[in-house]
A and B are shown apart, each in its own frame.
Chain A
Amino acid sequence: MAARNPRFRLPKNAKVGDVIEVKTLIMHPMETGNRHDKYGKLIPRDIITTFVAKYDGSQVFRAEFGTGISANPYVSFKMRVPGPGVFEFAWTDEHGIKTVATAPLILI
Chain B
Amino acid sequence: MAKMPERAKISVLSRRSLLISAAAAALSPLLAYAASRDTQTPERSKEFEEAFASLTGGAKPVAHDIAVDLPELADNGNFVPITITVESPMTDADHVKTIHILSTLNPRAHVATFQLSPINAVARIQSRMRLAKTQDVVVLAELSTGEMLMSTTHVKVTIGGCGD
Do A and B pair up? The answer is: yes
Chain A residues within 8 Å of B, Cβ to Cβ? 19, 23, 32, 34-36, 55, 59-71, 73-80, 82
Q: Are B164 and A69 in contact (CB under 8 A)?
A: no
* Distance between A6 CB and nearest chain B CB, rounded to angstroms: 16
Chain A residues in 8 Å Cβ range of B80: 70
Interface string of B128-151 (1 = CB under 8 A from A): 111100000000000000000000
Q: Which of B121, B131, B162, B164 contacts A19 (CB 8 A)?
A: B121
Tell whether A61 pairs with B78 under 8 Å between CB atoms, given A19-B122, A69-B111, A73-B127. Answer: no
- The segment out of B20-28, B36-44, B65-73, B101-109 that lies at the interface is B101-109
* Distance between A41 CB and nearest chain B CB, rounded to angstroms: 12
Bound state CA distance, A32 and B106, in angstroms?
A: 11
Bound state CA distance, A80 and B112, in angstroms?
A: 23
Tell whether A74 pairs with B163 under 8 Å between CB atoms, given A68-B108, A80-B120. Answer: no
Q: Is B124 an interface residue when CB atoms closer than 8 A count as contact?
A: yes
DSSP majority for the A interface? strand
Chain B residues within 8 Å of A, Cβ to Cβ? 78-80, 101, 103, 106-108, 110-117, 119-131, 161-164
Q: Are B107 and A32 in contact (CB under 8 A)?
A: yes
Chain B residues in 8 Å Cβ range of A67: 106-108, 130, 162
Q: Are A75 and B127 in contact (CB under 8 A)?
A: yes
Return the 6 tightest CB-CB contacts between A and B, nearest first: A68-B111, A35-B163, A80-B121, A34-B163, A62-B115, A70-B128
Q: Are A61 and B116 in contact (CB under 8 A)?
A: yes
Q: List 20 A-B contacts (CB under 8 A).
A: A34-B164, A61-B114, A61-B116, A63-B113, A63-B115, A65-B111, A67-B108, A68-B108, A69-B111, A70-B80, A70-B130, A75-B114, A75-B125, A76-B127, A77-B126, A78-B123, A78-B124, A78-B125, A79-B121, A80-B121
Bound state CA distance, A34 and B116, in angstroms?
A: 31
Across the two chains, which residue of chain B brings its CB closest to A74?
A: B128
Q: Which of B79, B126, B130, B162 contacts A75 (CB 8 A)?
A: B126
Bound state CA distance, A66 and B129, in angstroms?
A: 10
* Distance between B92 CB and nearest chain A CB, rounded to angstroms: 13
